[in-house]
Amino acid sequence: MTTVHPQIHTDSEGFLTEYDEWTEDLAGQLAERIGIELTDEHWKAIRFLRQDYPTHGETATLRRVSTLAGIPVKQLFALFPGKPAKKMAYVAGLPKPRGCV
Amino acid sequence: MRRLVILGGGTAGTMVANKLRRRLPLDDWRITVIDGQRDHLYQPGLLFVPFGGREDLLKPRRRLLRNGIQLLIGEIAAVDPERKSVRLSDGEVVCYDYLVIATGTSPRPDQTPGLLGSEWHRTIHDFYTYDGAFALRDALQGFTGGRLVVHVVEQPIKCPVAPLEFTFLAEAFFRRREMRDQVELVYVTPLDGAFTKPIAARYLGGLLDDRKIAVETDFLVERVDADRKVLVSYDEREIGYDLLVTVPLNMGADFVGASGLGDELNYVPVDKGTLQSTAYPDIFAIGDANDLPTSKAGSVAHFSAEVFVANFCQYVEGLAMTHRFDGHANCFVETGDGKGLLIDFNYDTEPLPGRFPLGRLGPLSLLRETKANHWGKLAFRWIYWNLLLPGHRLPVPTRMSMSGKHRPDEEVRP
């Protein structure tokens, strides 16, 4: 996962480090880079992540998304195959979710 | 009379009750601890039970609380934060001026389909509970070989290194019984490595490799098929087992959720520097009960309790709280054969190698297997009952120190 825009700040794995540098257009491009075409269902998850982050202070976990946004974990795996928590965070321009130690 | 009510008499609740009893005048303050169980369980001791460890695991809570602390045994049904009262399931209502939630986190096998059933405590086990640890001891004694799977459902869990420790101890256990070649060991985790933090993950991953323990990563379990003896993930991978040792989903107490005080896992959202509830300023959540982004571990309960007590004494005087918790955690990790390692970290600094200064007892090695670290872990039981719970100071700094630590030369990426 790397990003296309030199002017966008990312970490070593391509996750955006500045919340405000994200745009909906950029989300589409980020999704494309990991082989995902965004549908309304994807956007429901991404919008929840974006709206949750500023108050919660952490990237939402799969459980948080499924409980609070009402999208079953199984569906998140279908929408963002393989590593849904990371892929959602990547597309939503949020820090890589940390599995707390 | 001002009323402080502490929900939960575990590690954090007991420590804080005892510390505050010495700080708050008896004439002005009534301190009440409410817990559902009469006995206090020494949770770090559970790890050794499956391998035959005999420790004093239980002590009556009453004996662990100072004189002048009221202990109420009863199940907590709900908190009404507007009326500042706690309702117990027998109908009793206890009012408070200040509330401390210290009801921890508990394994919830009921949250994963297929765990609880006729195979529970037969071919499917947990080890973070008193009954689970003893049932697993019997299962290991009778295990004649096959595939042992150690599995974590989801983060966060209390004592996050315990599943790795269990795996190392199991490997040594089978070697000692001269049956290691008849046992296949698999470690299954929802994380993308053996551990969350990169430098420690690399080191611990190396220890698993050395011991020929297979690791299955990014495995988020959807259900367990107990008849076919397989774990099934959300992305439809399957892992078979003969004996499953799982760490079920961990959740905060149900009354926290029922009272509208919790997040999606019933943890109380708090300010990560002060442990004060973000919703109600007269409520604090300590130990494993809050949503701090650090380990759910006794060391965190201890270090954050020091900060909390200092802040609380300011808060009740109407002063600004001037102390901030840094997320400091410190864990001994058993690695088998009488050795262990030590990790020390906080919100911002991952576990690093080096030396850990420890008063006159001399430094301990960080992220390196030594016998001294194992003895440190065993000695901790005495420290826990006799120094930590009574609220005495330990020769360990509350804030993490970089003294003795160093970053490995090469850059490590997650």
Instruction: Say if residue B156 is preceded by a cis peptide, omega within 30 of 0.
Output: yes
Q: Name the amino acid, one letter, at B45.
A: G
Q: What is the pLDDT of residues B117-150, one digit of tens each?
A: 999 999 999 999 999 999 999 999 999 999 999 9
Residue B131 to residue B135: CA distance in whole angstroms: 6
Kindly report the CATH class assigned to B2-106+251-315.
alpha beta
Burial class (CB in 10 A: 0-12, 13-18, 19+), B323: middle
Burial class (CB in 10 A: 0-12, 13-18, 19+), B10: buried
Q: Which of B288, B287, B285, B292 lies closest to B259, judged by CA? A: B285
Q: Does A98 touch chain B (CB under 8 A)?
A: yes
Kindly report the CATH class assigned to B109-249.
alpha beta
- Degrees, nearest 5: CA angle B188-B193-B197: 130
Q: Which of B326, B332, B339 lies closest to B293, judged by CA? A: B326
Residues of chain B contacting residue A98, judged by C-beta atoms under 8 Å apart: 196, 293
Check A20, A25, A40, A100 and give the catalytic one.
A100
Q: Which of B230, B258, B314, B250 lies closest to B79, judged by CA? A: B258
- Of the pLDDT bands very low, low, confident and very high (cuts 50, 70, 90), residue A5 is low
Residues of chain A contacting residue B204, judged by C-beta atoms under 8 Å apart: none
The region that residue B388 occupies, defined by phi over 0 for left and psi between -120 and 50 for alpha, beta otherwise, is alpha
Q: Does B295 touch chain A (CB under 8 A)?
A: yes
Rounded to a whole number, what is the distance in Å from the CA of B294 to chain A's nearest CA?
6
ipTM of the complex: 0.84
A73 and B234 within 8 Å at the Cβ level: the answer is yes
Question: Which pLDDT score, from 0 to 100, does residue B393 have?
Answer: 85
Residue of B nearest to A83 (CA): B218
Residues of chain A contacting residue B196, judged by C-beta atoms under 8 Å apart: 98-101
Residue B363 to residue B354: CA distance in whole angstroms: 10
pTM tops 0.95? no
A74 and B413 within 8 Å at the Cβ level: the answer is no
Domain boundaries, chain A: 19-91
Residue of A nearest to B190 (CA): A99
B295 and A12 within 8 Å at the Cβ level: the answer is no
B155 and A68 within 8 Å at the Cβ level: the answer is no
Residue B315 to residue B271: CA distance in whole angstroms: 14
Residue A73 to residue A84: CA distance in whole angstroms: 9
Q: Distances from the Cα of A33 to the Cαs of A21, B103, B154, B192, in angstroms?
A: 18, 44, 28, 21
Give residues with Cβ within 8 angstroms of B103, minimum separation 6: B7, B8, B10, B13, B76, B252, B253, B255, B256, B289
Q: What DSSP string runs through B184-210?
A: EEEEE-SSSSSSSSHHHHHHHHHHHHH
Q: Do domains B2-106+251-315 and B109-249 have the same CATH topology?
A: yes
Q: Name the amino acid, one letter, at A26.
A: L
Q: Are B220 and B234 in contact (CB under 8 A)?
A: yes
Asked if A85 is an active-site residue, the reply is no
3-state secondary structure of B301: helix
Determine which of A2, A62, A71, A101 to mutate to test the interface with B (most B C-beta atoms within 10 Å).
A101
Burial class (CB in 10 A: 0-12, 13-18, 19+), B251: buried
pLDDT tens-digit profile, chain B (414 residues): 999 999 999 999 999 999 999 999 999 999 999 999 999 999 999 999 999 987 789 999 999 999 999 999 999 999 999 999 999 999 999 999 999 999 999 999 999 999 999 999 999 999 999 999 999 999 999 999 999 999 999 999 999 999 999 999 999 999 999 999 999 999 999 998 888 788 888 899 999 999 999 999 999 999 999 999 999 999 999 999 999 999 999 999 999 999 999 999 999 999 999 999 999 999 999 999 999 999 999 999 999 999 999 999 999 999 999 999 999 999 999 999 999 999 999 998 989 999 988 766 678 899 999 999 898 888 889 999 999 999 998 878 889 988 889 887 644 444
Residues of chain A contacting residue B234, judged by C-beta atoms under 8 Å apart: 73-74, 77
Give residues with Cβ within 8 angstroms of B377, minimum separation 6: B44, B332, B334, B340
Domain boundaries, chain B: 2-106+251-315, 109-249
Computed over its alpha carbons, how large is the radius of gyration of chain B?
21
A25 phi and psi angles, rounded to 5 deg: -60, -45
Long-range contact pairs involving B345-348 (C-beta distance under 8 Å, separation at least 24): B345/A101, B345/B197, B345/B400, B346/B294, B346/B399, B346/B400, B347/B272, B347/B293, B347/B294
Q: Which strand ranges, in their side-by-side order, compose the sheet holding B29-35?
A: B69-73, B29-35, B2-7, B98-101, B283-285
Number of residues in chain A: 101
The single residue listed with the structure tokens 């719970």 is: B389
| Widest CA span in chain B | 66
Residue B308 to residue B316: CA distance in whole angstroms: 12
Of B190, B220, B295, the CB nearest to A101: B295
Residue B375 to residue B334: CA distance in whole angstroms: 10
